[in-house]
Structure 1
Amino acid sequence: MIDNNVKNNIDESTLQNEKIEKEELLESVSTVDNVIDPKNDQIIKLKIQLAQLQEHERNTVLRLTAEIENIRRRNTQEIEKIHKFGLERFIFELLPVIDNLERTMSISDNSNTLLSAIIEGIELTLKSFLDTVHKFGLKSIYEINVPFNPEIHQAISIIESEDHKPNQVLTMIQKGYILNGRLIRPAMVTVSQSK
């Protein structure tokens, strides 16, 4: 692509040349003696008309070029959005699988030696699964003892507590998830309230 400064300089010099030509044509028309040759008069009018058409054509080309650039930019942005959020529905369907694996890990009995290999396998599967979805921009919302944020939290119940500040997340009932900055599922939480 041509550097914008060079392009602007070319455009400005072209405009100046066209203006000078127009002025010369207009001066030549005004300085013609009383006796005007009809052929010369027609040539001058045609030259003026040609200059006007050329200027109009140049403006049209510049306008269309700018419009094409805007279309390219918008298409690039749309493609980026599609890549970012194309997985949203698929990942949303995977969230119950993650929840179930996490529940399995939370209730597993590590003291049972017969189940320890199975539990370890489930733990490794969950870790691998989470690593994979994190690569695609999925982040979980799981913090407790943070201020309640209605944009990412959904309050399931309110519990009166003297030990916590009002509107603090006390417990996490279900994790929430964000995909590339967009909320997919809010975190279901209990919230504190002062007595």
Structure 2
Amino acid sequence: MPAPQEDLDPKAAAAPQGSAEAPDAPATPSADVPEQPGEDLAALLAEAQAKVAEYHDQLLRAHAEVENVRRRAQDDVAKARKFGTESFAESLIPVRDSLEAALALEDQTAEDWQKGVESTLRQINNAFERNQMREIAPQPGEAFDPHRHQAISNVPSEHPQGSVAQMLQKGYLIADRVLRPALVMVSAGQS
């Protein structure tokens, strides 16, 4: 029996074996991408190593700077703790001098003592003012503030319930921070 004849495409028969359509064909180098010889690779490696060394140096410098900033901040905090009261202490020195001078004087009248105490109180008030220290002195009838007042007891009074009935001791603020709350009696209302 004769073998069946295959239909041959004239174009397919004319195509050479090593054409671009063939899957086995080796790729030809492109004219746009030059081949890099071994010397270029060594230059690229040296350049990359130089950049790594530069980045490592920058990292070490940044780390050293962070450590310096941290150390300076710790020193500043330590100095603030140690010398934070310096301004207030400087304000109190004249007060002490006045008290010592008053005690050193003999044969003073009651009027002299009173004038000396008033003068010393003015010096203390000035020291408080310079160092942002203020009084907390709630008046009867004023609303009770648990952040600034400390209640000792509830007492019947003519003031509304929950307000200050009587102040027993002044409190003090430094800037906006409570140093000592005012001691108060709180109104329980009228009985």
TM tier, smaller: 0.5 to 0.7
Aligned with 2:167 (options 148, 172, 177)? 172
Unmatched tracts of structure 2, length 5 or more: 1-32, 93-108
Report 1:105-124 matches (<5 A).
115-124=110-119
| 133 and 83 in structure 1: CA distance in 2 versus 1, 3 angstrom threshold | farther
Unmatched tracts of structure 1, length 5 or more: 1-30, 95-113
* Distance in 2, Cα, partners of 1:136 & 1:76: 23
Report 1:76-155 matches (<5 A).
78=77, 82=81, 85-86=84-85, 115-144=110-139, 145-155=141-151
In the alignment, what sits opposite 1:71?
70
| Higher percent of residues as helix | 1
| 129 and 33 in structure 1: CA distance in 2 versus 1, 3 angstrom threshold | closer
In the alignment, what sits opposite 2:105?
none
Moved more, 152-161 or 72-81: 72-81
Number of paired residues?
141
Residue 76 of structure 1 and its aligned partner are, at CA, apart by 8.5
Structure 1 vs Structure 2 CA RMSD: 3.9
Matched to 1:45, the amino acid is L
| 130 and 153 in structure 1: CA distance in 2 versus 1, 3 angstrom threshold | same
In the alignment, what sits opposite 1:52?
52
Residue 69 of structure 1 and its aligned partner are, at CA, apart by 7.9
In the alignment, what sits opposite 1:33?
35
Deviations 1:1-45 (A, max 9, x none): xxxxxxxxxxxxxxxxxxxxxxxxxxxxxx5537x3x44432321
* Distance in 2, Cα, partners of 1:119 & 1:60: 68
Are the counterparts in 2 of residues 85 and 179 from structure 1 also a CA contact under 8 Å?
no
Are the counterparts in 2 of residues 85 and 180 from structure 1 also a CA contact under 8 Å?
no
* Distance in 2, Cα, partners of 1:175 & 1:55: 62
* Distance in 1, Cα, partners of 2:40 & 2:171: 82
Matched to 1:138, the amino acid is M
Provide the secondary structure at the position in 2 that maps to 1:49. Answer: helix
Percent of paired sites with the same residue: 23
The structure whose Rg is larger is: 2
Residue 165 of structure 1 and its aligned partner are, at CA, apart by 2.0
Matched to 2:150, the amino acid is Q
| 78 and 180 in structure 1: CA distance in 2 versus 1, 3 angstrom threshold | farther
